[in-house]
C-alpha cells in the first residue's frame, strides 16, 4: 500500500556539530516540495574471468543532494542559505522589529526530518548550496533551496508532532520599493529572479561519506524583467553599478527587503513584438560591497522580537 500526502511534515534542527542531530530545537516550515536523494557512486571492477560480465561493483562515495520548494510565507531558511540571522537588529523595544539575514564565510549545518505515514527520513549534515527567489507581479513569491548533506537514515520511533501557523505568501502585487541606486524602478518591474550559489563541495572521509562540506566562492546573480524605458537601458550601456533593493509588504509590520549590493548589468535584451507590450530584461551580477564585503542581505520586518 502506498503512502499518501496526508500526515507528511518537514522540520529541521540546527546542528552544533556537523552531521550530528541535536535532537532538540525543532523548526517547521510551510513548503510544497521536498526532495532528498541519497547518492551512492558505484565503480565497476573489470576482470578477465571467462565471461563479459563485471564480477563486482563497489561503492566509492556516498552523500545526499536535495531541494526544497515553497511559496514565500516565511524566511527562516535564509539563515542557512546566507549564514546568519540577527534578531531585533536595532534593539527595538516595540514593533516593528527588524531581523537581518547576512552572509558568513562558513555556513551552519542542520538536520532535516520529513515524515510520511508512521516513519520518517532523517537527513544529517545539511548545508544550503543554492537559493533562488522568484517574483512576478500578481503572483505569490516563490523560493527554491538546494542542499547537500552527509547521510540519510530511516527512523520509526520518536517522531515529532509539529504544529503549523498558516499564512498567506508574500505577493509582488504588494511590491513597495524597487530601486537601483537612487533611481525608483518600481513602476517598471514585471518580475524578478534572484539566484545565489555557495558552490559547495564534499570532502569525503574514510567511510566514503562526507566528513565536511566546504564552501566555495559565493555568487549572486539574477534578472529584472521590466516594461521598457530608455532609462533602464542606460544602466547597462553606461556600465552603472549600484545596489538593487526590492521590498514586498504583506501587512502591518510584515515586510521583506532584499538588497543586492553593488550590482552591475551584464546584458541588455529589449524585446519588441507587434502585439505585445515592449519589455526589457536586465541580467545582473553582484560584486562584494567595498565596505562590508557582502553581496546580498535580507531584512525581515515583524511584530515579534524573536523570529527564528
Top-confidence residue, 115 or 262:
262
Phi-psi region of 35 (alpha: psi -120 to 50; beta: other; left: phi over 0): beta
Question: Is the backbone peptide bond immediately before 96 cis, with ω within 30 degrees of 0?
Answer: yes
Residue-level pLDDT at 74: 87
pLDDT at 10 over 70: yes
For every residue of 92-109, DSSP letters joined together read -SSS-EEEEEEE-SS---
Strands (DSSP E) found in the chain:
9-14, 27-28, 33-45, 56-71, 83-86, 97-103, 110-116, 119-136, 142-149, 151-155, 175-180, 183-184, 189-197, 201-204, 210-214, 219-227, 241-251, 254-271, 279-286, 296-302
Cα separation of 253 and 37, whole Å?
38
What are 135's three cell numbers?
517574483
Q: Where are the domains of the chain?
A: 9-302
Phi-psi region of 180 (alpha: psi -120 to 50; beta: other; left: phi over 0): beta
Average pLDDT over residues 84-100: 95
Q: What radius of gyration, in Å, describes the C-alpha atoms of the chain? A: 22
Cα 137 to the chain's mean position, in Å? 21
Count how many Cα atoms sit within 13 Å of the Cα of residue 255 in the half-sphere of its side chain. Answer: 19
Count how many Cα atoms sit within 13 Å of the Cα of residue 141 in the half-sphere of its side chain. Answer: 28
Q: Considering the chain, what percentage of its residues have pLDDT values greater than 70?
A: 97
Residue-level pLDDT at 1: 41
- Model pTM greater than 0.85? yes
pLDDT at 158 over 90: no
Evaluate whether 132 touches 194 at the Cβ level (below 8 Å).
yes
Evaluate whether 156 touches 118 at the Cβ level (below 8 Å).
yes
Residue-level pLDDT at 180: 96
Evaluate whether 153 touches 187 at the Cβ level (below 8 Å).
no
120-137 pLDDT, tens digit per residue, is 899 999 999 999 999 999
Residue-level pLDDT at 7: 54
Cα separation of 74 and 184, whole Å?
26
Mean pLDDT of the residues in the chain = 90
Residue-level pLDDT at 276: 74
Evaluate whether 215 touches 199 at the Cβ level (below 8 Å).
yes
Amino acid at each position: 500500500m502506498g503512502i499518501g500526502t496526508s500526515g507528511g511534515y518537514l522540520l529541521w534542527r540546527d546542528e552544533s556539530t556537523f552531521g550530528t542531530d541535536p535532537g532538540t530545537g525543532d523548526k517547521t516550515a510551510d513548503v510544497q516540495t521536498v526532495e532528498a536523494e541519497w547518492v551512492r557512486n558505484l565503480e565497476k571492477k573489470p576482470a578477465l574471468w571467462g565471461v563479459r560480465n563485471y564480477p563486482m561493483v563497489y561503492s566509492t562515495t556516498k552523500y545526499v543532494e536535495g531541494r526544497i520548494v515553497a511559496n514565500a510565507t516565511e524566511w527562516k531558511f535564509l539563515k542557512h542559505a546566507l549564514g546568519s540571522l540577527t534578531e531585533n537588529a536595532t534593539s527595538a523595544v516595540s514593533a516593528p522589529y527588524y531581523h537581518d539575514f547576512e552572509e558568513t564565510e562558513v555556513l551552519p549545518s542542520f538536520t532535516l526530518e520529513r515524515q510520511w505515514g508512521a516513519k520518517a527520513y532523517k537527513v544529517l549534515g545539511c548545508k544550503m548550496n543554492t537559493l533562488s527567489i522568484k517574483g512576478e507581479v500578481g503572483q505569490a513569491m516563490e523560493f527554491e533551496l538546494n542542499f547537500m548533506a552527509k547521510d540519510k537514515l530511516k527512523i520509526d520511533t520518536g517522531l515529532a508532532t509539529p504544529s503549523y501557523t498558516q499564512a498567506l505568501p508574500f505577493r509582488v502585487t504588494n511590491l513597495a520599493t524597487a530601486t537601483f541606486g537612487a533611481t525608483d524602478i518600481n513602476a517598471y518591474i514585471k518580475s524578478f529572479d534572484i539566484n545565489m550559489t555557495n558552490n559547495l563541495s564534499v570532502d569525503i572521509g574514510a567511510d566514503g561519506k562526507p566528513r565536511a562540506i566546504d564552501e566555495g566562492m559565493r555568487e549572486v546573480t539574477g534578472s529584472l524583467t521590466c516594461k521598457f524605458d530608455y532609462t533602464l537601458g542606460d544602466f547597462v550601456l553606461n556600465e552603472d553599478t549600484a545596489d538593487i533593493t526590492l521590498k514586498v509588504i504583506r501587512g502591518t509590520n510584515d515586510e521583506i527587503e532584499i538588497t543586492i549590493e553593488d550590482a552591475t548589468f551584464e546584458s541588455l535584451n529589449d524585446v519588441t513584438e507587434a502585439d505585445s507590450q515592449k519589455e526589457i530584461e536586465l541580467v545582473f551580477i553582484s560584486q562584494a560591497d567595498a565596505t562590508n564585503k557582502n553581496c546580498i542581505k535580507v531584512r525581515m520586518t515583524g511584530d515579534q522580537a524573536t523570529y527564528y
